[in-house]
Amino acid sequence: MARHRNVRGYNYDDDFDDDDLYGQSVEDDYCISPATAAQFIYSKRDRHSSFTEPLEEEEEGATEDDDKSKASCTALSSVDQARLYSCLDQMREVLGESVPEQIMIDAVLQCGFDVAKALDLVFKQDSDTSRKPVTQDASSAARLGKDKARELPSPDTHIVPKIAKLTVSGNKQTMGFAVPSSAPSELNGQSVTATTRGQAMDDAMEENDNSVQMPTTLNTSQISEDLNSTPSQGKSFSRSKQKINVKEELEKRQGGKQLLNLVVIGHVDAGKSTLMGHLLYLLGHVNKRTMHKYEQESKKAGKASFAYAWVLDETGEERQRGVTMDVGMTKFETKTKVITLMDAPGHKDFIPNMITGAAKADVAILVVDASRGEFEAGFEAGGQTREHALLVRSLGVTQLAVVVNKMDQVNWQEERFGEVTNKLGHFLKQAGFKDTDVYYIPTSGLSGENMVKKSEISELTSWYKGPCLVDQIDTFKAPQRSVEKPFRLCASDVFKDQGSGFCVTGKIEAGYVQSGERLLVMPPNETCTVKGITLHDEAVDWAAAGDHVSLTLTGVDIIKINVGFVFCSPSEPIRACTRFRARVLIFNFDVPITQGFPVIIHYQTVSEPATIRKLISVLHKSTGEVVKKKPKCLTKGMNAIIELQTQRPVALELYKDLKELGRFMLRYSGSSIAAGVVTEIK
């Protein structure tokens, strides 16, 4: 509670003079091209049983052959094993059970997981062995296979060009495109990683067609070593291929629409979840049947009014308590934008979660409850309205739509709307928002009024001529994406998926990533390989700054990876440190901050205990000049340079290099006490 009292009545005017400290304004952005839309190559493979039911036959008979194949399989890394199984499955589609396992394995390994080439090799061996058979079985089987293959379409005809355009509505449209017919990436059943690696390998092979000259008995460890080094080849290969095109591809991907990350903030019970749930419903993102189900379920649970909120509040506990705890994430579209919506929890217990959401946001919707007494409760009596607004501003959000919600409760009165907006306007200006970047929209989240189309309620239309909520969101300026900077992604979730490897989700803060690429994880300084990329539930070959993605990774143990770790490009790694200097602004906090003061640093998904190691200097609020060196303590409203010491290493950027990973919040005992930007990494 203390922090809300502290926030109240504090004059923020001076503190936000320095615009630069408080995040980027969209006009002065330093990044590159406008965020955009793009076509992407959809290479999700039909992962039929190959991964889940590998080589059932192996278990049945413990023949020598099986032992051999097991041995060659186990010598491979788990990724290569998966690729091998996948290739075997495809080969079996052509050959049936006619060719012994080991012959197929040898062929696959020999041809670097290229199914087409492996099949050729098997057929070639077959014609050789028909003259001098290896075993009776094998030769007849191979012949059989060959016959079968004649009936079946040739391996090449299995090549189904799979390019999909992610339409702005998130549906994919497949469309044909010219691909080299032998590209292994186009074969069904291969994993995404296999695609890129395979492509690189295929290209390498085409240049120097040595696949046939390869010795038949290749050392498997040699192969896997070879393959392990392939991603870097693949990376540089595809990197150079994509480098020119990433901006252009992004442009195409969403049909010219710009990406915008939107966070919804506000006091608990202001109606955030209801508003956004209803908005999604009205935009057609929730079908009638599901909505009906939510209505029935919420009625049964005695919370009928929460039906729309249930669209976003997914966990049982959230529904039970009727509060949002985690940051829900959904996608929707306006005329010119593709919006990733984050519904941040309003409850004060979940402010760290809210920071995580806000750190990813470009713009925010602040929802306030227009009802008498309720707005005041949220704004004044220890509510989160002020704290949330301050937090998002400190985390770099400059544009804000204030939704004056539950206007139905006050009969759409103009006076009440004016009262609320006046109070808020004054505060938001102090908090550093420009008047021209704040927009006020009266709505009713429950009835859906003035949300996706202009309201026709006469009580409202008589005095409100502005846009509805969706039109307002559409007019937000989209920030430019740092696509040309080195790749950075801060993990917001780490989990095990069904296949080999594991998944990491997060927003790409800078640069871009491709399947098959090797990444460095900081601070643990581990490397891993990107096996697959998922963007809005679709497998893609690459993703760029601004995208919320899920990366499937291999080559590193999941237990070494934590939320808050930063994935970066190994050639341009992010620095990890335990000591850094920062320029901070102390919020309205009554306790003087001295050397040794314990704090929690929050940025992105990181929340790390730290102490204030040194108080270097106090700065003039507007000029930034040093007004006092080595101060004894810092008090509210001060601008200062301090040195922070974390217990464990953290991966950070200088604010001037990458704002998203260079600004943070300091919290103490559940209160936000300061915002800061990194000026020097020790």
The verdict on 346 binding ligand GDP (CB under 6 A) reads yes
Considering beta carbons, is residue 90 or 385 the nearer one to ligand GDP? 385
Residue 143 corresponds to which tokens in the numbers above? 């012949």
For 630, the 3-state DSSP assignment is: coil
The verdict on 274 binding ligand GDP (CB under 6 A) reads yes
CA distance 383 to 387: 8
Considering beta carbons, is residue 460 or 574 the nearer one to ligand GDP? 460
With the CA atoms of 601, 604, 606 and 608 taken in that order, what torsion angle do they form, in degrees rounded to the nearest 10?
0
CA distance 40 to 60: 43
CA distance 126 to 118: 12
The verdict on 406 binding ligand GDP (CB under 6 A) reads yes
The verdict on 270 binding ligand GDP (CB under 6 A) reads yes
CA distance 101 to 106: 9
Say what angle helices 64-74 and 78-95 make with each other, to 10 degrees. Answer: 140
The verdict on 405 binding ligand GDP (CB under 6 A) reads yes
Task: Determine which helix (DSSP H) or strand (DSSP E) holds 455, and give its type and residue range.
Answer: none
The verdict on 305 binding ligand GDP (CB under 6 A) reads yes
Segment interacting with ligand GDP (CB under 6 A) among 186-194, 206-214, 406-414, 552-560 = 406-414
Say what angle helices 246-253 and 220-243 make with each other, to 10 degrees. Answer: 80
Instruction: Tell me if 48 sits within 8 A of 189, measured CB to CB.
Output: yes
Greatest CA separation for the chain: 97
Q: How far is the CB of 452 from ligand GDP (least distance, A)?
A: 14
Q: Which of 324, 514, 550, 672 binds ligand GDP (CB under 6 A)?
A: 324
Q: How far is the CB of 269 from ligand GDP (least distance, A)?
A: 4
The verdict on 442 binding ligand GDP (CB under 6 A) reads no
The verdict on 378 binding ligand GDP (CB under 6 A) reads no
The verdict on 353 binding ligand GDP (CB under 6 A) reads no
With the CA atoms of 7, 13, 19 and 25 taken in that order, what torsion angle do they form, in degrees rounded to the nearest 10?
70
CA distance 305 to 317: 17
CA distance 171 to 104: 38
Segment interacting with ligand GDP (CB under 6 A) among 168-176, 267-275, 354-362, 572-580 = 267-275
Three-state SS string over 21-63 comes to HCCCCCCCCCCCCECCCCCECCCCCCCCCCCCCCCHHHHHCCC
Considering beta carbons, is residue 259 or 407 the nearer one to ligand GDP? 407
The verdict on 545 binding ligand GDP (CB under 6 A) reads no
Considering beta carbons, is residue 466 or 609 the nearer one to ligand GDP? 466
Three-state SS string over 63-114 comes to CHHHHHHHHHHHCCCHHHHHHHHHHHHHHHHHHCCCCCHHHHHHHHHHCCCC
User: 405 Cβ partners below 8 Å, 6+ apart?
Assistant: 270, 271, 275, 367, 368, 369, 370, 443, 444, 445
Q: Which of 40, 113, 237, 306 binds ligand GDP (CB under 6 A)?
A: 306
The verdict on 408 binding ligand GDP (CB under 6 A) reads yes
Segment interacting with ligand GDP (CB under 6 A) among 249-257, 428-436, 439-447, 485-493 = 439-447
Q: In which region does residue 255 sit, left (phi positive, over 0), alpha (psi from -120 to 50) or beta (all else)? A: left
Segment interacting with ligand GDP (CB under 6 A) among 30-38, 430-438, 444-452, 565-573 = 444-452
Segment interacting with ligand GDP (CB under 6 A) among 96-104, 185-193, 442-450, 456-464 = 442-450
Considering beta carbons, is residue 176 or 373 the nearer one to ligand GDP? 373
| Neighbouring C-beta atoms of residue 523, cutoff 10 Å | 20
Q: Which of 88, 187, 227, 309 binds ligand GDP (CB under 6 A)?
A: 309
Segment interacting with ligand GDP (CB under 6 A) among 45-53, 269-277, 480-488, 594-602 = 269-277
Q: Which of 98, 193, 273, 605 binds ligand GDP (CB under 6 A)?
A: 273
Sites for ligand GDP among residues 581-600 (CB under 6 A): none
Segment interacting with ligand GDP (CB under 6 A) among 42-50, 404-412, 653-661, 671-679 = 404-412
Considering beta carbons, is residue 199 or 371 the nearer one to ligand GDP? 371
The verdict on 409 binding ligand GDP (CB under 6 A) reads yes
Considering beta carbons, is residue 300 or 496 the nearer one to ligand GDP? 300
The verdict on 269 binding ligand GDP (CB under 6 A) reads yes
Instruction: Tell me if 356 sits within 8 A of 564, measured CB to CB.
Output: no
**Residue 86 to residues 159, 194, 228, 601: CA-CA distances in angstroms?**
15, 10, 18, 45
Segment interacting with ligand GDP (CB under 6 A) among 148-156, 238-246, 266-274, 428-436 = 266-274
Considering beta carbons, is residue 293 or 303 the nearer one to ligand GDP? 303
Q: Is the link from the previous residue into 573 a cis peptide, with omega within 30 of 0?
A: no
The verdict on 517 binding ligand GDP (CB under 6 A) reads no
Task: Give the Cα-Cα-Cα angle 624, 626, 631 (nearest 5 degrees).
Answer: 125
The verdict on 445 binding ligand GDP (CB under 6 A) reads yes
The verdict on 272 binding ligand GDP (CB under 6 A) reads yes
Q: Which residues bind ligand GDP (CB under 6 A)?
A: 266, 268-274, 305-306, 309, 322-324, 346, 405-406, 408-409, 444-446
